[in-house]
Amino acid sequence: MPTLNRASAGIRFGACRRRFQGTTIAVLVALLVASVAQAQNAPGTWRVAEGRVLRALGDTSVALPNQWVTMHRVGPDTAAPLDSVQTDARGKFDFRYQLSGSRDAIYFASSTHGGIAYFTPPLTGATTERGALELVVFDTSSVSRPLSVRGRHVIVGAPAPSGGRTVIEVFEISNDSSVTLVAGPGDAPTFTAMVPRTASAFQVRESDVAKDAITLRDGRVEVRAPIAPGLRQIAFSYEMPKRAKALRFPVERPTPVLEVLAEEPLARIGGGAVTEVDPVTIDGRGFRRYLAQDPPPAGVVTMEFPATPTATRQLYLAVVIVAVGAAMLAALARAAMRRR
């Protein structure tokens, strides 16, 4: 299967072309900025960074005083915190720090609230960034607050030489509240999704939560990571055995966009109100594409596979053997009649 990343498999996935193009442009701009900033990344350069910490309260936010903020450096040589300060009465903080070590190191600030760490984006490389950093923190809740699914994307590959198929699933989940959702009583997961019980070789793909926070247990993918307000992507893959003749994808919760991609041209896809649209190409491989807008709750998308090439060859050989046997019997019968 194609590697799932924001550049190559770039359909996040429903509006794939627009987002992929935007991602590509962003990457090129980032590379250009990085090359221009090399002169500013020389070890020994001093920088000043200022910002503030805000606590989200519903649709608004307030300054968070006396909040500890830490400046970090992460590079290929080493990673370590550089300094920590407390915010003032207006939630403001500032750092004066010196670049060191590798030119590829990045610098950012973090703050912890309610046991959850929040981070700023990497600093841009400017010598002085006054008021540029903004850390928004949220209260936490272990109360059951269902996460909404904004999109689900299923990619099913053609059979490998072994006969098995790789399936990639991507969920776009959203925490629409104003609090960070954490594991509930008994370590209940913050998000779950069903996968076939015959699936094997489970693997976490590029996601917006830590890989070790996503596990497979008893036919369900479980996420045990804090989910802050906003949109997150969860992606994973698994292998379906050669003997699997069909796949079923239940729609467990409201899903505004459901997308199914099938590399196998003869696969039959139906259910879940999906409709075939224009095909797409990923990494030079063609996929038939099916979409559903707001599929019915408790609906099921079914993908039925044709006979594998091996099975087709075996059936062909069986037919040939039967035909040859019949011809031989007919010849023997004719010879016996002539002898009479």
Each residue of 262-281: pLDDT tens digit?
Answer: 999 999 999 999 999 999 99
CATH of domain 43-137: 2.60.40.10
pLDDT bracket for residue 7 (50, 70, 90):
very low
Q: Is the pLDDT of residue 241 over 70?
A: yes
Angle among Cα 181, 182, 188 to the nearest 5 degrees reads 120
pTM of this structure = 0.65
- Partnered with residue 63 across adjacent β-strands are 54
Burial bucket for residue 187 (CB in 10 Å: 0-12, 13-18, 19+)? exposed
Percent of the chain with pLDDT over 90: 45
Kindly list the distances between the CA atom of residue 56 and the CA atoms of 184, 249, 309, in Å, as whole numbers in the listed order. 21, 37, 57
pLDDT, greater one: 336 or 230: 230
Q: Is the Cβ–Cβ distance between 154 and 260 less than 8 Å? A: yes
Q: Is the pLDDT of residue 130 over 80?
A: no
**How confident is the prediction for the chain on average, in pLDDT?**
79
User: Which CATH architecture does the domain made up of 148-311 adopt?
Assistant: Sandwich (2.60)
Q: Is the Cβ–Cβ distance between 280 and 287 less than 8 Å? A: yes
Looking at mean pLDDT, say which of 212-221, 304-313, 318-327 comes out highest.
Answer: 212-221
Percent of the chain with pLDDT over 70: 74
The separation between the first and the last C-alpha atoms of the chain, rounded to the nearest angstrom, is 66
Measured distance CA(10)–CA(20) in Å, rounded? 5
Domain ranges across the chain: 43-137, 148-311
Q: Do domains 43-137 and 148-311 have the same CATH topology?
A: yes
pLDDT, greater one: 124 or 126: 124
